[in-house]
Each structure stands twice: as structure tokens, then as C-alpha cells.
A and B are shown apart, each in its own frame.
Chain A
């Protein structure tokens, strides 16, 4: 009898404790779910606004309002994209992209003009490159080089000092720079066919 009790008590104790903590965590999770979702959406909205070159206001609500008034999201079977609309028509399209970096995958958003010949802006949302070296793709000077970059002919992105170079690479981070150009060039080639299929060309 005594033996049975010894097994029973720990089991009941553990079940009780687990149930208690599961309950606590579940309620915290429920409570914060909405906020986390909002934060994630906000981060994405900021990134989209950034690639279109629209300055995001400081307040989060204002950012969301601005985003919903100007940007329209389109979901297709293969990928989703974003349209920037103003009163005088469509200004451009933004697409998410991702690819292989040096240490892990790099992903972000890129905005293109309506004729798909100019990059409006580029932003990286996640990467795991070496901080201070490849990680500098996050820095404004690097991303700003892509603003209004002419990408009418392949290869679209070429680093200087190569003859046809149009963008500066990151010193000391050859492989990350190379990955970025490969990702973008592959993406540009793909997006051309995608745009034709979707009838995005004027």
C-alpha cells in the first residue's frame, strides 16, 4: 500500500504542477498573441514603406494607417506582392525575396518601378551574416545604393570595381556581397517571368 502511494504522489504532483504552469503560460500567451502579431505586421509594414521610399511616421498607429492607405497586398499562388498606389496611379511593386547568404538565409523586400527597369528600394528583414562585416548589408549606405538603381539589363547587380559595376561591395565581406548579388540577380530573372504572367507590365 505504502509503495503505491509513493508512485502516485509524484505523478499527481507533476501533473498538478504542469497543469498549473500550462494554464498560466497559455493565458499569458493568449494575452500577448495579439501584440506579437501586431509587432510582426508592423515590422513588415515598415520594411515595405521603406523600400518604396515612404518615410514612416514615429507612431505605430500612424504607420499602420499610412500603410493601409497606400499599399495594397496581392496574394497569388506562388507569392504575394505589394502595390504602391497613389492618386495618379500605380507607383511600383514590392516583393519579398530570400536566398542563401554566407552563414544562413538572407531575406528582405525589394521594390521595383512599374516598368521593372528601376529598383525603388531594398531592405533586409533577416540575415545571419557576420556582424561588422557581412552584417553591414543592414546599413543605410549599402541599401541606399539600390535606390533608383537601373536594372534594365542582365546581370542586374554588379559590384564595383568590375567594369559594369553599379554598386559598391562591402570591404572584407566578399562572400556576403557575392551572395547578395546572386540572390538579387536570380530574383530579377524570376520576377520578369512572374510579372509577365501576372500581367503587371503596362
Chain B
């Protein structure tokens, strides 16, 4: 149980993939102009991370160490293709809106990072949970950024108009630079909110 709580805390804030590990930045910049896009992207990533961590962990004792990266990539891509096919078949509009970013989940460092850092050393169930929570941490940050971008950029939330007709849209917030500023603010604020216990030792972001 304590293990579950520890994993949960790590994924949500202590070791959050986006604002703490600075991973998955590419997609968090690209799809956060609308809340709906962010939500689907986040749930998709949760699915892929959870299942690939689970599979990697399941196979960990049979996988030869020196080809483990190859195996991980294979597993991850398989789940991403499944997700892509699912979106194309059942949510065609969403598939069009997310464009190449679904396919690019394969190269999302969060999944590879979890497979390598966690699933490789832990049991399948907890790995699945870790993937799910890391995905959730990513989703929450995406939704937070998208909330401001959609609100300021379109005056809507999940497509529903919330700011009246007097509202002037902030065009920049819809464009990729808007995401840069928002992400910068998020990282800044979270560093103030959750100071790192051993910041001195582990300073510097990993790419």
C-alpha cells in the first residue's frame, strides 16, 4: 500500500514527468490549445504508458539486457498503433485534430523513461499503476495548460463559450508560442510550490 502511495505522489507532483522531469514537452506544447484534445491525448498516453510498463515488466526476466531498448520500443509502438487505429475508427475528428502527435507518442520520453526506470525493476502490477499515474500527472499538466490557452485563446472551455462576446481572443495563446509561455509559468510556479528535497544534488533537467 505504501508503495502505491509513493508511486502516486511521485507521478502527480514529486516526480511529475512534465514539470519535474521535463519530459513529453513536444506534445504538451502541440496539443494543448484545446481542452478536449489534451484530455484525449492524456488518456491515450495513460493507456500506452500503463500497458507498455506492464508488458515490459512482465517480460523483464526473460528479456536479454542488451536488447531491452529494442524490446521496449517494439512494445511501445505496438500500443501506440493500437491507440491510433482506435482513434481513427471511433473518433475520426479527434484523430484529425491530434494529427501526427498520436504517432509521436512512440518517441515520448515519458513512456521510455518509465519502462527503463521503473518497469524494468518492478513487478507488473505496480508498473502498470506507475505508468497510469505518470500518464495522469502528464494529463493534469496538459489540462492545466490547455485550460488557460483555450480560455484566453477562444474564450471557451471544452468548446463551451464561457467568456462573453466582449471577450477578445488572445491569438498568441492558440499558437505554439503561447504554450511555451504557459509551460514556463507552470514550471516556475511548481518549483515554488513543491520545492525539491535534494535540489542541490539533482539540479538540471534531463532531456
In the complex, A touching B, CB below 8 Å?
yes
The answer to whether A10 and B64 touch across the interface, beta carbons within 8 angstroms, is yes
Complex partner residue of A21 from B75, B88, B89, B169, CB under 8 angstroms: B75
Interface residue from A18, A35, A172 paired with B171 (Cβ < 8 Å)? A172
A residues apposed to B, CB below 8 Å: 6, 9-10, 13-14, 17-18, 21, 24-25, 28-29, 32, 35-36, 39-40, 43, 126, 130-133, 172
Question: By the criterion CB–CB under 8 Å, are A131 and B33 in contact?
Answer: yes
CB-defined contacts of B128 to chain A, threshold 8 Å? none
Name the interface residues of B171-199: CB closer than 8 Å to any CB of A: 171, 174-175
Which of A13, A18, A25, A36 is the one whose CB lies under 8 Å from B62?
A13
Give 14 pairs: A residue, B residue, CB < 8 Å, sorted on A: A13-B67, A17-B59, A17-B74, A24-B78, A32-B86, A36-B85, A39-B89, A126-B96, A130-B174, A130-B175, A131-B153, A132-B169, A132-B171, A172-B171
**Is residue B39 contacting chain A, with contact meaning CB distance below 8 A?**
no
The residue of chain B having its C-beta at the shortest distance from the C-beta of A135 within the complex is: B174
Tell me the total A-B contact number using a CB cutoff of 8 A.
60
Question: How far is A172 from B63 in the complex, measured between Cα atoms in Å?
Answer: 56
Would you call B82 and A132 a contact (CB within 8 A)? no
CA distance A28 to B90 in the complex (A): 13
CB distance from B13 to the nearest CB of A (A): 30
Q: Which of A18, A40, A43, A131 contacts B175 (CB 8 A)?
A: A131
A14 to B70, CA, bound (A): 8
- Determine the distance from Cα of A190 to Cα of B174 in the docked complex, in whole angstroms: 36
Apart from the given pairs A28-B85, A39-B89, 17 other A-B contacts in the complex at a CB distance below 8 Å: A10-B64, A13-B62, A13-B67, A14-B67, A14-B74, A17-B59, A17-B71, A21-B74, A21-B75, A28-B82, A36-B85, A36-B89, A39-B92, A40-B92, A130-B175, A131-B175, A132-B154
